[in-house]
Amino acid sequence: MIVVFLERLTVRYTKLAGMDVSEICLGMMSYGDPKRGGHPWSLPEEESRPLIKAAVDAGINFFDTANVYSAGSSEEITGRALKDFARRDEIVLATKVYNRMHEGRNGAGLSRKAIFAEIDNSLRRLGTDYVDLYQIHRFDPAVPLEETLEALHDVVKSGKARYLGASSMYAWQFAKALFTQRQNGWTRFVSMQNHYNLVYREEEREMLPLCADQGIAVIPWSPLARGRLVRDWDASTARTDTDEFGKRLYLDSDREIVDTVAEIAAAREVSRAQVALAWLRRNPVVTAPIFGATKREQLDDAIAAVDFELTDDEVRLLESGYRPRGIAGH
């Protein structure tokens, strides 16, 4: 394992398929034109660039965006910043396809037509001729699975993507996709970007064991539960007030876990983010949580979490308040 020391912070690297990736992935949903795409809390380009540069300077080389984030402007900001601040052959750049990008017919989904159109649109916005990880943002039941998987295989063979990944779906759907890829000799998914954190652990039932068995990298989204794990339960932010999707993800009973995170953080004199991320990283199937940062201290917290370890007693205390719930985030 490679270790980089910079400004007293430590960045470590691990493997995602054959690639070296930082153990923290910077999620680029936080960066985009707030007037486009329904994310009024996202940072415009002039405010995004210093944070992206700080991440690169700290050794983070893994960046995850999506075509739908801020109606494509996240990809534009990401591409321009990484071109200026990083070496393309050293970074791992990921984006996603599925959600609606224009009104009318064929403006969304995972048809061959949509995938071929959207990979070209993403590459144009990112200012690159390939992405390292091309992911399906969700499962598309309206399109034959074989059509989607063969189209993704052809994207890789065309040189426009190096690896393929998937995001939130049922484990049986992911297992079926992996089997179909193997059966046809198509490029297999190497990663699963799923919803997983201290207050949403349903992925531990089937998806995480499947990924462990198949050697699939796990790169969870919302590792801090849309920020709920790092602030008092009743606190509000610009994002909590406008994030309708996020309002459907968590339960009032999760307050107990949030309070426990705060207690452990205070006792250990670390941030709440470090506690929540340290818990997530204890799971050996987790490769790199996808972390969003709109402030420099948030970025520093994420990097510091790589070296912070919880005791077994603290883990038991954190996990004791969890209540099973229905699937959320698909």
Q: How far apart are the first and last CA of the chain?
A: 33
Please say whether the beta carbons of 242 and 40 come within 8 A: yes
DSSP state, residue 136 = E
54 SS3 class: helix
Show the DSSP H helices in the chain as ranges: 45-57, 73-85, 112-126, 145-157, 171-184, 207-214, 238-242, 255-268, 272-281, 296-304, 312-320
Of the listed 13, 69, 196, 250, which one is catalytic?
Answer: 69
Q: C-alpha distances in angstroms, 179 versus 96, 129, 135, 194, 260?
A: 22, 29, 17, 19, 41
Closest CA to 93 of 142, 70, 127: 127
State the virtual CA torsion across 21, 303, 166, 169 in degrees, nearest 10.
Answer: 160
Residue 167 pairs in a beta bridge with 193
The verdict on whether 163 is a catalytic residue reads no
Catalytic annotation, residues = 69
